[in-house]
Amino acid sequence: MIDDVRKDAEQRMAKSVHGLHEELKKIRAGRAHPGLLDQVHVNYYGVDTPLRQLANVSAEDARTLLVAPFDKAAVAAIDKAIRESDLGLNPATAGMIIRVPLPALTEQRRKDLIRVVRSEGEACRVAIRNVRRDANGSLKEMEKEKLISADDETRGQAEIQKLTDRFVAEVEALLAAKEADLLDV
């Protein structure tokens, strides 16, 4: 029973950290990364379609993304979708190829992005602590219903705390790496 609670808590904490990792990938650090355009959706024949399904996205160099549509008819729609996304990008179309130059980040923009990264990290830490609270509540409930002993509850809570500490350390490592990446000129 205690193992079930611990495994459930571990899975939920891992999902929180994975979610943070995915969110941090969306925050660009000045270098071209194909994942930057993952959230762009294109209106393709009246259907909102992810860009990845309509084109190959690759990094041409450190500051330029290359978008190669599979269908020539989609070039204008992809160009429009990238322009209208909240990424602040200005693509240039050359035949079947769309080049997306990434502007250099200003110092103020870097600080703003670091603020965003820290707030995402804090939201993840809160989610992890909420999972810990739920798991500890489940253990208390089991002890109250005499399904486990008080010693088992204490041991279980100690295990949950170790899990919490481990996942919070992972969050801190992710945040430190992203901040260093943002500050790297």
Instruction: Give the CATH number, domain containing residue 149.
Output: 1.10.132.20
Q: Whole-angstrom Cα distance, residue 171 to residue 126?
A: 11
Average pLDDT, integer, range 38-53 = 87
The answer to whether residue 124 scores a pLDDT higher than 90 is yes
Answer whether 0.85 is exceeded by the pTM. Answer: no
Based on the fold, state whether residues 114 and 82 are members of the same structural domain.
no
Nearest to 76 by CA among 102, 56, 95: 95
Based on the fold, state whether residues 123 and 85 are members of the same structural domain.
no
**Tally of domains within the chain:** 2
DSSP3 helix / strand / coil % (the chain, rounded to 5): 65, 15, 20
The answer to whether residue 88 scores a pLDDT higher than 80 is no
Domain of 54 in residue numbering reads as 34-101
30: pLDDT confidence band, cut at 50, 70 and 90? low
Q: Count how many Cα atoms sit within 13 Å of the Cα of residue 81 in the half-sphere of its side chain.
A: 25
Q: Residue 121 in contact with residue 170, Cβ under 8 Å? A: no
How many secondary structure helices (H) and strands (E) does the chain include? 4, 6
